[in-house]
């Protein structure tokens, strides 16, 4: 077996961008950040548009919308009078956090505590009681994309269906007694594991938060899962957020470690990074900053449970009393 540096690239990720998901004959709300939300517009007023998506209702602020494209002419949706906001300018902001069904509650409690410590009193993290089952539609399957390349690098016949190819690769690896071959079995398991679509989970997170996202002091909502997450373009992600939806998702699957504190630290760094996106932070060049862009777990482990000074200034400004 040859090619360990090449097959290393199978493991690696990429992340962050705005995502869309498709729905036939849908209205479309195009966001200023380039994203789009498809579904049926069920209500709208001067401040917001409510879209019924496959994953539930999503409320989008007008300020984030570039254009509303309606699927066809039909009666205008019912308009409700604008709600007069009565924000307390000194009140802290709120981040809503929940675990998808199956996620580790103890871990989420510890991660929440750590991120609260890192961000200080201007952001309050509020748990949402719901634990929705992750939306399993459009599971992302990376086998057809990666198995032929793995077969070629291991000099195994690369033809056939993903099932045939996976079985052939597994048999070839199991027949090879060398200890260094064992890592390829982990790579094979990784490729064969179906990923949840982050756009689905983010729409679900926004739906779970529901009307609470209309409160201007609510920064957004983040759902935590122990399952693998991805997009069609990327191999896997540790986390992602869509600022237009004000929703994000964090996966701790790839943070696995025998030590609870290590997993909690890694997940806290990721929740901090995902929260940073909701606060308006871009990627950061400082490799120790929570908003750095890691290509693998080793790079993720260089990040600290805090923002660099430059990112911290942006965060402090975003969380300042209004
Ligand atoms: Zn930074």
Contact criterion met (CB below 8 Å) for 107 and 267: yes
Q: For residues 119 and 246, what is the distance between their CA atoms, to the nearest angstrom?
A: 18
The pLDDT value recorded for residue 73 is 46
Separation of CA 213 and ligand 1 centre (Å): 26
Separation of CA 316 and ligand 1 centre (Å): 13
Separation of CA 271 and ligand 1 centre (Å): 14
Separation of CA 119 and ligand 1 centre (Å): 14
Q: Which residue has the tokens 């991660």?
A: 111
**Crossing angle of helices 105-119 and 260-278, rounded to 10°:** 60
Separation of CA 86 and ligand 1 centre (Å): 33
Separation of CA 114 and ligand 1 centre (Å): 18
The pLDDT value recorded for residue 64 is 84
Separation of CA 274 and ligand 1 centre (Å): 13
The pLDDT tens digits of the residues spanning 71-97 come to 754 444 555 655 555 667 788 999 999
Q: For residues 271 and 290, what is the distance between their CA atoms, to the nearest angstrom?
A: 9
The pLDDT value recorded for residue 8 is 39
The pLDDT value recorded for residue 24 is 41
pLDDT less than 50: residues of the chain = 1-24, 73-76
Separation of CA 307 and ligand 1 centre (Å): 5
The pLDDT value recorded for residue 13 is 36
Contact criterion met (CB below 8 Å) for 83 and 314: no
Separation of CA 291 and ligand 1 centre (Å): 5
**Residue 293 neighbours by CB under 8 Å, 6+ apart:** 15, 16, 283, 284
Beta-bridge mates of residue 67: 30
- Return the ∠ at Cα 195 (arms to 190 and 200), rounded to 5°: 165
The pLDDT tens digits of the residues spanning 204-230 come to 999 999 999 999 999 999 999 999 999
The pLDDT value recorded for residue 4 is 40
Separation of CA 57 and ligand 1 centre (Å): 34
Enter the pTM of the model. 0.72
């Amino acid at each position: 077996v040859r090619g360990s540096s090449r097959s290393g690239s199978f493991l690696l990720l990429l992340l962050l961008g705005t995502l869309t998901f498709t729905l036939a004959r849908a209205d479309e709300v195009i966001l200023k950040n380039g994203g789009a939300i498809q579904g049926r517009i069920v209500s709208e007023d001067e401040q917001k548009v409510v879209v019924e998506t496959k994953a539930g209702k999503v409320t989008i602020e007008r300020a984030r919308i570039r254009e509303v494209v309606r699927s066809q002419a039909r009666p205008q949706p019912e308009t409700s009078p604008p709600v007069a906001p009565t924000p307390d300018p000194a009140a802290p902001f709120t981040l809503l956090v929940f675990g998808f069904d199956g996620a580790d509650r103890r871990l989420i409690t510890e991660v929440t505590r750590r991120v609260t410590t890192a961000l200080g009193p201007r952001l309050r993290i509020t748990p949402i009681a719901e634990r929705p089952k992750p939306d399993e539609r459009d599971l992302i399957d990376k086998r057809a994309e990666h198995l032929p390349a793995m077969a070629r690098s291991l000099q195994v016949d690369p033809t056939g269906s993903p099932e045939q190819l996976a079985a052939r690769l597994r048999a070839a690896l199991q027949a090879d007694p060398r200890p260094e071959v064992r890592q390829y079995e982990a790579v094979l398991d990784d490729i064969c594991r179906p990923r949840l679509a982050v756009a689905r989970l983010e729409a679900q997170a926004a739906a779970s938060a529901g009307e609470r996202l209309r409160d201007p002091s609510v920064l957004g909502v983040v759902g935590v899962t122990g399952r693998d997450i991805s997009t069609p373009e990327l191999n896997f992600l540790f986390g992602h957020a869509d600022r237009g939806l004000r929703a994000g998702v964090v996966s701790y699957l790839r943070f696995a470690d025998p030590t609870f504190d290590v997993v909690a630290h890694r997940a806290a760094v990721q929740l901090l990074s995902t929260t940073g996106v909701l606060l308006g932070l871009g990627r950061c060049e400082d490799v120790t900053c929570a908003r750095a862009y890691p290509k693998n777990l080793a790079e993720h482990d260089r990040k600290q449970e805090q923002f660099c000074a430059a990112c911290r200034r942006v965060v402090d400004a975003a969380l300042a009393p209004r």
